[in-house]
A = this chain, B = another copy of it.
Amino acid sequence: MEREPEGLRERKKRQTRETIAAAAMRLFKRRGFDAVTVAEIAAAADVSEKTVFNYFPSKEDLVLSEGPARRAAAIDAIRNRPPGTSLVQPFRELTMAYLDRVEHEPLESLVEIPRLVLASRALQQRLFVGWEEESAVLTPVIAEETGAAEGDLEPLVAARTLAWTHRLAFRAAFLRLLDGEDQREVAADLRRQANRAYDLLENGLAEYGTR
């Protein structure tokens, strides 16, 4: 987590990276993701087109660049969960922490990226891939915490189940915010809803939908 003293080289690199990302976001916000070309982004950042691809492997990564950070936070929450609690707890807390941000952060910073993603098929595709990568990273951590054997399905299932629950609360939140609902109201209702969903997972689906 510590930042090593950067040489001049690293500093310049981070600087160009931020310049490119900032220029891209400015254009995306104004005209939408698909309508902006990489050539335009390169021109706005005063850099060659190839350099953009050097820093961001694809155009989509210009928008979805915080994915890795979220992944690290999730792993952290699992590893440092309070003793005596199951693996549901860290995810429940991740969701609640996010809902606090829904209540208190400025609206624009909450919906800015989701709005872009909703409007672009390419961005949604890239997002789904990132989600699956996240689950793939979470699986071995969960397997280790539960002492599962190599090839067991249980940790695979648990990772998807818990990660998706968090994502669905996340998605429900910004959809309702984009719909104009009040931030306090959305946060309060989704806290109830998310707790019920996590309770359902904890108590089991044995009776779910029995007729």
Looking at the complex, which one of B125, B158, B168, B169 makes contact with A128 (CB distance below 8 Å)? Answer: B125
- Chain B residues near A164: list those with CB within 8 A: 157, 160-161, 164
Per the 8 Å Cβ criterion, residues 148-170 of A in contact with B are: 151-154, 156-158, 160-162, 164-165, 168-169
A39 in contact (CB, < 8 A):
no
Q: How many residues of A contact B (CB 8 A)?
A: 48
- Chain B residues near A146: list those with CB within 8 A: 208-209
Could you mark each residue 179-206 of chain A with 1 if its beta carbon is under 8 Å from any beta carbon of chain B, else 0?
0000000000010011011001111111
CA distance A197 to B209 in the complex (A): 18
Nearest B-chain residue to A131, judged by Cβ: B128
The answer on a CB contact under 8 Å between B87 and A205 is: yes
Looking at the complex, which one of B83, B168, B205 makes contact with A86 (CB distance below 8 Å)? Answer: B205
How many monomers of this chain does the complex have? 2
CA distance A154 to B131 in the complex (A): 20
- Chain B residues near A161: list those with CB within 8 A: 157, 160-161, 164, 201, 205
The answer on a CB contact under 8 Å between B172 and A168 is: no
- Chain B residues near A128: list those with CB within 8 A: 125, 128-129, 131-132
- Chain B residues near A203: list those with CB within 8 A: 204, 206
- Chain B residues near A162: list those with CB within 8 A: 205
CA distance A83 to B210 in the complex (A): 8
Which A residues are closer than 8 A to B by beta carbons?
83-88, 124-126, 128-129, 131-132, 142, 145-146, 151-154, 156-158, 160-162, 164-165, 168-169, 172, 190, 193-194, 196-197, 200-211
